[in-house]
Amino acid sequence: MDSLTELTQRIPSFPGYAEEDGRRLSDELVRSYLGERLTDLEYRLHLDDPAREDALESLIFRTEFVNQAVFRTYSEACMDDASAAALYACDARVLDLADAAVKIDATSFDGYVADVQAALDKRDDVMKHIRSLEG
C-alpha cells in the first residue's frame, strides 16, 4: 500500500498536497493526529521528571501550530510526484509514531520522543526541499 492510501485510510478527510488549501488542511490533520496521541500519552504516563515533561510539552506544542517558516516555503511550490510521495511517506511515519504512543512506557519514553522529533524534523526538511522545485 502506498503512503497516500495509508494516510487516507487512517484520516479519511485527508485531502493530500495537490493544492494549497489541501496542503494546509493535510498539514493540520497530520499534526492534530499526532498531538492528540501525545496528549493522551502525557495524561497516561504522569511524568514526574521535569526534563521529560518539557520534552513532551515541546512536542505537543509543535503539533498545535503550523511551522510558518517551513509552510511558507512550500505552500505555493510546484510539487512533483516524487516530492509529494516523500512528504506522504513522512506523514505516514508520523502517524505510525502517533499510533505507537499507546505502547510507550517510562522505559521507552526517551527513545520515542527522539523518534518523534526526528520524524517531524525530517518532515520539515522535505517541505523545505519542495520549495526548491518552485518554478
Domain contains 16: no
* Cβ atoms < 10 Å from Cβ of 36: 14
Query: What's the longest Cα–Cα distance across the chain?
Result: 50
Domain contains 17: no
* pLDDT (0 to 100) of residue 109: 97
Instruction: Show the domain range for 56.
Output: 3-10+27-131
| Alpha carbons 28 and 18: distance in angstroms, whole number | 15
**pLDDT for 34-75, tens place per residue?**
999 999 999 999 888 999 999 999 999 999 988 777 777 666
Name the pLDDT band for 135 (thresholds 50, 70, 90).
Answer: very low
Buried b (16+ CB within 10 A) or exposed e, 96-107: ebbeebeebeee
Domain contains 72: yes
Domain contains 84: yes
Dihedral angle sign, alpha carbons of residues 52, 34, 100, 90:
negative
* pLDDT (0 to 100) of residue 71: 72
| Alpha carbons 132 and 135: distance in angstroms, whole number | 8
Smallest CA-to-CA distance from 30 within 89, 82, 76 is with 89
Domain count for the chain: 1
* pLDDT (0 to 100) of residue 131: 55
Q: All 3 cell numbers of residue 64?
A: 498545535
pTM for this one? Answer: 0.90
